[in-house]
């Protein structure tokens, strides 16, 4: 493949998200609770159920930007977001103590649901997405987490699971192309991809992982739709439902599929 990678290309310096209620009492009571309860109470991945009303998400790969996102949504939307009691980093581990909201994964038992039940759930999901997409970033914000910091997506190729932030959508696209710029010697399909990615998209609040199982921030407006199409292989039925709650963007989806083919999966 012809072309060149610009070694000078780099994202903006990332800001550091702020802890929440980071005092001695919250820190050490949380750490003690985890030590005492981690082998007693139920857990789901990195989330430990402290009580029927509280849980804590913790680990080396947990990031304070998750707490920032929940606080942002609770302040600017009517969405049922868990209340964050505290969030801090201690000895390289991040802890987020939050309200526990009861509920089931939307994909649970999906194939057994009636058409009416599916339509009702997708309508509710569509309303949630629309409210999130009405949010706009502060003046001067680029592709970034809600607090202007780095982003997370385990499916983006790279040396780190975190990447960005980026001052412009074009910088973000160049990162996805691993720094490649337009070159007339490139494969015509890649030339076309770079030209497509040079278009302008508004930045909107994006969940970034609307799958049947469950990385949010300010992304170009097509990112929610194309990311939702990265279906978990165990739940391929989800691809058939996406157009029922998100505005179809077939051109952008085709653009992303070409990018994945040449520059790695997402």
In the chain, domain spans? 24-99, 110-263
Write out pLDDT tens, residues 188-235: 999 999 999 999 999 999 998 775 444 799 999 999 999 998 866 666
C-alpha dist (Å) from residue 33 to 88, 94, 187, 225: 15, 14, 57, 39
Of 244, 259, 155, 147, nearest in space to 205 by CA: 147
Write out pLDDT tens, residues 66-81: 999 999 999 999 999 9
Distance CA 100, CA 236 (A): 29
Q: Along the 266 residues of the chain, how does pLDDT read in single tens digits?
A: 444 444 445 566 667 789 999 999 999 999 999 999 999 999 999 999 999 999 999 999 999 999 999 999 999 999 999 999 999 999 999 999 999 988 888 888 888 999 999 999 999 999 999 999 999 999 999 999 999 999 988 777 677 778 999 999 999 999 999 999 999 999 999 999 999 999 999 999 999 877 544 479 999 999 999 999 886 666 678 888 999 999 999 999 999 999 999 998 65
Q: Could you write out the three-class secondary structure of the chain?
A: CCCCECCCCCCCCCCCCCCECCCHHHHHHHHHHHHHHCCCCCEECCEEECCCCEEEEEECCCCCHHHHHHHHHHHHCCCCCCCEEEEEEECCEEEEEEECCCCCCCCCCHHHCCHHHHHHHHHHHHHHHHHHHCCCCCCCCCEECCCCCCEECCCCCCCCCEECCECCHHHHHHHHCCCECCCCCCCHHHHHHHHHHCCCCCEEEECCCCCCCCCCEEEECCHHHHHHCCCCHHHHHHHHCHHHCCCCCHHHHHHHHHHHHHHCCC
State the CATH architecture for 24-99.
Answer: 2-Layer Sandwich (3.30)
**pTM for the complete prediction?**
0.89
Write out pLDDT tens, residues 84-93: 999 999 999 9
The predicted structure's pLDDT at residue 149: 93
Q: Give CA 262 to chain center in angstroms.
A: 22
């Amino acid at each position: 493949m012809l072309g060149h990678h610009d070694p000078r290309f780099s994202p903006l310096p990332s800001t550091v998200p702020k802890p929440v209620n980071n005092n001695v009492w919250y820190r050490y009571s949380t750490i003690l609770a985890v030590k005492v309860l981690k082998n007693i109470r139920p857990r789901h991945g990195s989330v430990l159920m402290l009580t029927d009303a509280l849980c804590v998400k913790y680990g080396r790969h947990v990031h304070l930007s998750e707490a920032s996102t929940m606080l942002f949504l609770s302040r600017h939307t009517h969405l049922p977001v868990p209340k964050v009691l505290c969030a801090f980093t201690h000895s390289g581990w991040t802890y987020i103590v939050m309200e526990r909201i009861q509920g089931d994964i939307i994909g649970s038992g999906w194939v057994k649901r009636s058409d009416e039940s599916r339509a009702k759930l997708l309508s509710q999901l569509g309303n949630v997405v629309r409210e999130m997409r009405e949010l706009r970033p502060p003046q001067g914000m680029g592709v970034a987490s809600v607090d202007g910091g780095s982003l997370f997506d385990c499916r983006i190729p790279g040396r780190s699971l975190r990447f960005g932030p980026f001052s412009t959508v074009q910088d973000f696209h160049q990162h996805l192309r691993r720094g490649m710029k337009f070159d007339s010697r490139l494969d015509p399909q890649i030339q076309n991809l770079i030209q497509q990615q040079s278009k302008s998209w508004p930045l909107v609040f994006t969940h970034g992982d609307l799958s049947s199982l469950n990385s949010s921030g300010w992304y170009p407006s097509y990112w929610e739709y194309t990311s939702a199409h990265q279906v978990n292989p165990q739940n391929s039925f989800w691809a058939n439902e996406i157009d029922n709650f998100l505005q179809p963007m077939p051109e952008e989806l085709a653009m992303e599929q070409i990018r994945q083919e040449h520059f790695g999966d997402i």
